[in-house]
Structure 1
Amino acid sequence: MSESRVGSTPTLGNRPAQGGDTADASFSFYVPILRFSLSACPVVLMQLRDRFVFDPGENILFIDLAGLRIETREQVDETRRVVREILESRGRRAYAIVNYEGTEISPEIVDYYGESIKELYDRYSLTTVRYSSSGLTRSVLRYLGAAKDLESNIFATREEALRAIEELKDRSRIVRKFSVRSLLNPRQSLVGKLAIGWLLLLLVLVSGYLIGVIWITREQLGVFRGALAGAVFSLLAAALVSSAIVLVTVIRPLRRIEDLAGHLRLGRLIEPITVNSQDEVGQLANTINEAALQLQQEIERLSGLYHISLMMGTGAEVSQICELLTRKIARLLGAEVCVILLYDESQNCILAQVPAYGMEDQHLASLRFAPEDNSIGSRVFKTGEPYLTNDARQDPLLRGKADGMIREMLAVPLKAGQHMLGTIEVINKTGGFLEEEKRLVTIFAAQAAHLLRNAQLFEQVRESEERYRQIFENAVDGLYRSTPKGELITINPALALMLGYRSPEELASINLLEDLFVDQAAAVRLIDQLADHGQVLDVECDLKRRAGGSMPARLSIRVVTDAADSQVFHLGIVKDITEQKRLSQQLIISERLAVVGELVAGVAHEVRNPLFGITTTLSALARELEDRKPVQPFIDVVMTEVSRLNYLMEQLLEHSRPVRLDPDVSAFRVVIEEVAEEFRAAANVKGVELIIDYPDPKGPRVDRRKMHGVFTNLLENALQHTERGGQIRLISKRQPSISSEVQIEVSDTGAGIALENRHKVFEPFFTTRPNGVGLGLAIVRKTIHDHGGTIGLRSNGDSGTTFVIKLPLS
């Protein structure tokens, strides 16, 4: 067997396995409605040309696309170039076997790839078979075949593909090659049979000559020989002429008929036999032509119905179905134009669908009419009956409307059950449309209507899913679906973000009840309520954040049952009520402080006036007394207490005054630097280490004077309660999960705050100092709240205290 190498060369009986034959199938393919992505398959590293192997003895082109990623048009063009290079020089069509194991085709070029396959098939292929062990891959290949009018010879294994080629080759062997030997063989040729007849006549003449030699006289022998020679020459001439006539007028047409029959058996496109004679052979050829064309039309009809059935249930888009149907019907009938029009209920209008066969998209946009219009489409849509006209100029529904562009028209309804979808209109066919063609298109339309109806329902489902997906993914509140045991199945981005996770996928392995609830008893109560009532509304609880700490949340959960498989799920809404809690707390404090503030403002005003009088009187008394030494200590005591009362009044007024802030973005760093400088000397004297860590160059906008009071108060308290050798830290840091705020911590290693006092430290007039006023931390909290922030504390008994301040950056 002679072989032509393009890469390694196989033999038909014992071919080496193509790359990827045993690999797990992985095929990623896209037709606007489908995308299949299976397990990854190792890409076979070889040059594209090495994937094409032609066996000239068997006339088969092996194409190995196993593990190949086809991502660009240039790759597709290179594939076409290689096929042309291999087959064009041989001047004949060939069989092809294509291995699609693990092939991936980019969604952006899938249409271009399908068109290229169709071009190569029409030009070079006798038959092309494809194989892949992946059922999804085979489904997509069948769909591509339906969309691009390709053969659906798709198999699971290489052996099945080879066997299919062998069967096709066996069926095609009815076409015999012409040779002199076969021409003279009486069992294979009419010329051979005629040759036997002429040989028998020649034997008769020879026998007559031999007998004549015996019985005829010598004088008559010459004449007899001449007559006999003339008879022999006449016989040979008649034999040659009759053989030539039989060869040209009978055998060659019959051979063409035989070729035609072979093409019909293989399901290939046929070309009618050209016979100019009107004799019996010509009539037979014409009859065969008509039968073959009718059979091919029937094959086309069945092929169209088969391709429609392939698209059933695939989720094909309306535009794809319209492209396939209009092309099929127009080619089947030999029409110039085919258009599908569908009713749009929202517009109460019947609209031409894009694309259509034989009409530009921009022209289709203007092709629309109302159901009540006086047109062929409206009539077919309302009556549900097909309409055929072969003379548009005389037709009452078309006269004067088509401007000569429409000569003939066939319109049939698209009806799925009792639901009228629209119409199919086939326009302009040489010779006009036949009643049989109307019946044929009606059959197509009946199948196509169900396909289009399914496509419309698919699109409605996709639009609905897209709307709900957008709501789910863009909701401000957290949404989730979980099992009754709390295993999270679906989580929206908002829930992941509020709990400090980068993406919902990070929450996929987390149990809501066991891993996220701070109080497990609350989780148990929640499950009990769901079991009893099927839903819970606005239940408040604390959920754990990923970075530590907790988030106050409000949960509403409902128990639902999936209608498809009767599985029970919990659908929940999670609201982050951190801000609500803060505002609620601030509101409570503000209400308390408003009452206290009014009282304090009045008291302070009434007290400061007498204090001023006392101070003035004491000063005057001191000047009047000449000998002040005996009474000076008493005067100093009074003046000290008066000053202390004045300071107390200042504190009270500071606490009760309305907020007046003068924020500055640079003030925060300046405040920290000033306070650190003020307390560093005192810390060194006491033997306490003071650590300031504020790396962020840009802080929140704060009032310099008021924020200075905040840190002065906190550091003064920390220094007072920290023993020698201790440590005080003032640090600032950003929370990864909350980029809009800055967190400042002031911590010490002092005695800490007793558990029973921790909830009181920010209340006005609470103090543990003998001479304390109890307004310092109350003013600190008010200042922080005035800046839109929060303050809290952590204390572990004897291990010190940490005040945590959170301030918004804007």
Structure 2
Amino acid sequence: MRKSPGQRRPPRAKQLKEALHRGTPSFSRTGEGLSAPTLDDPEIQKAYLEQLVECAPKAISILDGQHRIVRINGEFTRMFGFSPEEAIGRRIDSLIVPPDRSSETQWIGDVLRQGQKVSLETKRQRKGGMLVDVFVSGAAVVVGGEQVAAYVLYRDITEQKRAESLSSALYRIAEKTSSAEDLNQFYRSIHATVSELMYARNFYIALYDPITQLLSFPYFVDEADPRPAPKHLGCGLTEYVLRSGEPLLCTPEVFDSLVKQGEVELIGAPSLDWMGVPLKAANRVFGVLVIQSYTANVRYGEKDRDILTFVSQQLASAIEHKRHEEALRRSEARYRSLVQSAVYGIYRSSMEGRFLDVNPALIAMLGYSSIEEVLSLDPKLDVFADPEEYARLINEFHRGARLENIEVRWKRKNGNAITVRLSGRAVTSPEVAEQVLEVIAEDVTERRLLEDQFRQAQRMEAVGRLAGGVAHDFNNLLMVISGYTEVLLENTGRNSPLYPKIAAIQQAAERATTLTRQLLAFSRKQLLELKVVDLNTIVREMERLLRPLIGENIELQTRLANDLGRTRADAGQIEQVIMNLASIQKMPCPMAERSPSKAAMCIWEMISGVYTTTFSPVHT
């Protein structure tokens, strides 16, 4: 006898469900009154639907018209942490939607009521409060033209978002390496980049300098501790990572274990989670990147440590590059300051002699007011007084010679010639393909003038010593002549025709004696003899000797004071002073051609030299 259909369905649905669980189709023998199941059977369709929802790789929630959860699958429980008993009957927005995204839920409901599908990337909240990145897709279930339910699918895209954020972060690190103007700006941008990947409100970078053996903190942001001063290595967690060269996720348990082992000690405010990764360059640890949390709501995990380690590898290269760039910038600034403030002229030129760069000292040396004027000059025509010297100098550089203290004649802007001593060499410059010349120029014009004056003074001194020796011998002869003349005058009567001739001989001898005394005074070999003298008389007597000495092209004028008193002095020394002052007029002073101040300086130096020479203890 055949069973009614109502009696046959439960066993058939049960068999299908069991078969679906086993993964094999279910068949019954026709001889036993059972027939093969068909997909048109509602029970079979429901069983398929149940398995489809349960085995789906996405989290699925089925909602009623009031957005209350009717059904969830196992992936929903795994993703968000809610069991079916905790989820069914609750509104979806109160279960997994973050409070700041309530308007988003309202918009999704409006779209579904209009019969449209919805899809977007957003965040949802797990049972413990942690946010997860998800891709949401949903649609309404319509029966008889009326919406009776809705289904919403969630795909976890946390790893995808993390990979995208990580890739974007690495790109920005590389970008900031070249665009940041200084290290502080670069460190701030790195902090912002890490903050997009994980909680990094407390963030710092520590760098170790092996030369000074100091650990410094160029960037330090922390809600509990101030920025530490540079210090020597101690036993903190930062130093532990420096020593080990390995990443460290330090939870309270890990910290207690390290303290017991004597590896670390507490420095600063105690944090809940402390995570530090080494910064390495060529297997050398030069710093540590650290983030930490003081609240139980923010905990770090192994994935965070791996991400921060990966970021630190790129960051270490960027920091090392930026530090070298900063050191190069400071070095360039120091050397530029050194060149700009140098008292010697310094310039770079092409191998043809064209100026490429000059310092302020060279601009002043040539008498110009701006660097543009000097760079526009043709050295062969506008700088070198002798074009042959210019050609000879360039040929020496082309031969690869290093020039040391080569003196040449240059022209200033006003046409005056100066003597310049050059030292330099040809070097390779990255700015141009060819070699360039780097030369130091020293203006030795005034030094050469002083040297000429010194040599002239030496010659005058030699002449004076020669004249003194001759005058001494001549004075001995005059003493003999004067002695015999006095004997002849005593033995010759005034009426004798020889008396006037003998008297003339005596007068000539006296004049020769005066001349000899003046020569001895000029040579400083006369002993000091203090007596009352008349300066007018001395000047008047010196006038005869000075006129042939100073030459015909210099006018000599004497103005004697009638009311001048007498003084006690050595007449020879006074005569020496007058002689030296008169000799000043014969000394050349090319500096006077440039400006009155230079002329005054020249005269003052010559007078000072006369004073020093005249009254030197060696000669007096």
CA distance in 1 between counterparts of 2:279 and 2:126 reads 40
Aligned-residue offset at 1:465: 1.3
Q: TM-score, normalised by structure 1?
A: 0.45
Q: 512, 515, 522: which one pairs with 1:647?
A: 515
Q: 215, 221, 224: which one pairs with 1:356?
A: 221
Counterpart of 2:405, as a letter, is D
Match of 1:478 in 2: 345
Counterpart of 2:312, as a letter, is A
Counterpart of 1:311, as a letter, is K
Once the two structures are superposed, what CA deviation does each residue of 1:136-189 show, in whole Å capped at 9, x if it has no partner? xxxxxxxxxxxxxxxxxxxxxxxxxxxxxxxxxxxxxxxxxxxxxxxxxxxxxx
Q: Structure 1 residues 375 and 540, CA, compared in 2 at 3 Å: closer, same or farther? A: same
Identity of aligned residues (%): 21
Counterpart of 2:468, as a letter, is A
Match of 2:386 in 1: 519
Pair 1:441 & 2:272 matched: no
Aligned-residue offset at 1:344: 0.7
Aligned-residue offset at 1:458: 0.7
Match of 2:250 in 1: 389
CA distance in 2 between counterparts of 1:336 and 1:744 reads 75
Q: Structure 1 residues 357 and 627, CA, compared in 2 at 3 Å: closer, same or farther? A: farther
Aligned-residue offset at 1:311: 1.4
Aligned-residue offset at 1:425: 1.1
Pair 1:537 & 2:388 matched: no
Match of 2:278 in 1: 413
SS in 1 for 2:286: strand
8 A Cα contact 1:407 1:427, kept in partner: yes
Match of 2:421 in 1: 554
Q: Structure 1 residues 417 and 462, CA, compared in 2 at 3 Å: closer, same or farther? A: same
8 A Cα contact 1:338 1:358, kept in partner: no
Match of 1:324 in 2: 189
CA distance in 2 between counterparts of 1:704 and 1:272 reads 112
SS in 2 for 1:539: strand
Match of 1:464 in 2: 331
Q: Structure 1 residues 284 and 587, CA, compared in 2 at 3 Å: closer, same or farther? A: closer
**Farther off after superposition, 483-492 or 591-600:** 591-600
SS in 1 for 2:426: strand
8 A Cα contact 2:177 2:186, kept in partner: no
8 A Cα contact 1:481 1:488, kept in partner: yes
Aligned-residue offset at 1:490: 1.6
Q: Structure 1 residues 356 and 534, CA, compared in 2 at 3 Å: closer, same or farther? A: farther
Once the two structures are superposed, what CA deviation does each residue of 1:45-71 show, in whole Å capped at 9, x if it has no partner? xxxxxxxxxxxxxxxxxxxxxxxxxxx
Q: Structure 1 residues 360 and 484, CA, compared in 2 at 3 Å: closer, same or farther? A: farther
Query: What pairs with 1:56-71 in structure 2 (closer than 5 Å)?
Result: none
Query: What pairs with 1:244-283 in structure 2 (closer than 5 Å)?
Result: 254-255=105-106
Match of 2:552 in 1: none
Aligned-residue offset at 1:741: 5.8
SS in 1 for 2:388: helix
- Contiguous gaps of at least 5 residues in structure 1: 1-189, 193-244, 276-282, 661-674, 680-687, 691-702, 719-729, 746-780, 790-810
Counterpart of 2:394, as a letter, is I
Aligned-residue offset at 1:433: 0.5
Query: What pairs with 1:113-192 in structure 2 (closer than 5 Å)?
Result: none
8 A Cα contact 2:249 2:276, kept in partner: yes
SS in 1 for 2:334: helix
**Farther off after superposition, 449-458 or 298-307:** 298-307
Q: Structure 1 residues 395 and 529, CA, compared in 2 at 3 Å: closer, same or farther? A: same
Match of 1:181 in 2: none
SS in 2 for 1:347: coil
Q: How many residues align?
A: 447
CA distance in 2 between counterparts of 1:592 and 1:712 reads 16
8 A Cα contact 2:591 2:599, kept in partner: no
Counterpart of 2:331, as a letter, is S
Aligned-residue offset at 1:604: 2.2
Q: 266, 285, 288: which one pairs with 1:423?
A: 288
8 A Cα contact 1:542 1:553, kept in partner: yes
Pair 1:572 & 2:453 matched: no
SS in 1 for 2:275: strand
Larger Rg over CA atoms: 2
CA distance in 2 between counterparts of 1:294 and 1:396 reads 32
CA distance in 1 between counterparts of 2:126 and 2:270 reads 33
SS in 2 for 1:410: strand
Pair 1:604 & 2:471 matched: yes
Counterpart of 2:210, as a letter, is E
Match of 2:22 in 1: none
Counterpart of 2:346, as a letter, is L
8 A Cα contact 2:366 2:413, kept in partner: yes
Query: What pairs with 1:561-710 in structure 2 (closer than 5 Å)?
Result: 561-563=428-430, 565-582=432-449, 584-586=451-453, 588-589=455-456, 592-593=459-460, 595-611=462-478, 625-627=493-495, 631-632=499-500, 635-636=503-504, 639-640=507-508, 642-643=510-511, 646-647=514-515, 649-651=517-519, 653-655=521-523, 709=579
Pair 1:497 & 2:364 matched: yes
Q: TM-score, normalised by structure 2?
A: 0.58
Counterpart of 2:518, as a letter, is E
8 A Cα contact 1:540 1:555, kept in partner: yes
CA distance in 2 between counterparts of 1:598 and 1:714 reads 19
Aligned-residue offset at 1:347: 1.9
SS in 2 for 1:479: strand
Q: 397, 401, 417: which one pairs with 2:266?
A: 401
CA distance in 2 between counterparts of 1:259 and 1:542 reads 92
Aligned-residue offset at 1:411: 0.8
Aligned-residue offset at 1:434: 1.3
Aligned-residue offset at 1:256: 5.1
Match of 1:346 in 2: 211
Aligned-residue offset at 1:592: 4.4
SS in 2 for 1:527: helix
8 A Cα contact 1:385 1:412, kept in partner: yes
Q: 574, 577, 601: which one pairs with 1:742?
A: 601
Match of 2:229 in 1: 365
8 A Cα contact 2:252 2:273, kept in partner: yes
Query: What pairs with 1:302-317 in structure 2 (closer than 5 Å)?
Result: 304-314=169-179, 316-317=181-182
CA distance in 2 between counterparts of 1:713 and 1:399 reads 87
Pair 1:432 & 2:296 matched: no
SS in 1 for 2:175: helix
CA distance in 2 between counterparts of 1:321 and 1:591 reads 68
CA distance in 1 between counterparts of 2:110 and 2:514 reads 121
8 A Cα contact 2:278 2:312, kept in partner: yes
Aligned-residue offset at 1:485: 1.7
SS in 1 for 2:221: coil
Counterpart of 1:532, as a letter, is R
8 A Cα contact 2:355 2:375, kept in partner: yes
SS in 2 for 1:394: helix
8 A Cα contact 1:543 1:553, kept in partner: yes
SS in 2 for 1:364: coil
8 A Cα contact 2:406 2:421, kept in partner: yes
Once the two structures are superposed, what CA deviation does each residue of 1:216-235 show, in whole Å capped at 9, x if it has no partner? xxxxxxxxxxxxxxxxxxxx
CA distance in 2 between counterparts of 1:259 and 1:534 reads 87
CA distance in 2 between counterparts of 1:336 and 1:638 reads 116
CA distance in 2 between counterparts of 1:568 and 1:273 reads 67
CA distance in 2 between counterparts of 1:714 and 1:425 reads 80
Aligned-residue offset at 1:506: 3.9
Aligned-residue offset at 1:535: 3.1
**Farther off after superposition, 334-343 or 618-627:** 618-627
Aligned-residue offset at 1:599: 3.4
Q: Structure 1 residues 598 and 706, CA, compared in 2 at 3 Å: closer, same or farther? A: closer
Q: Structure 1 residues 611 and 411, CA, compared in 2 at 3 Å: closer, same or farther? A: same
CA distance in 2 between counterparts of 1:451 and 1:463 reads 18
8 A Cα contact 2:420 2:442, kept in partner: yes
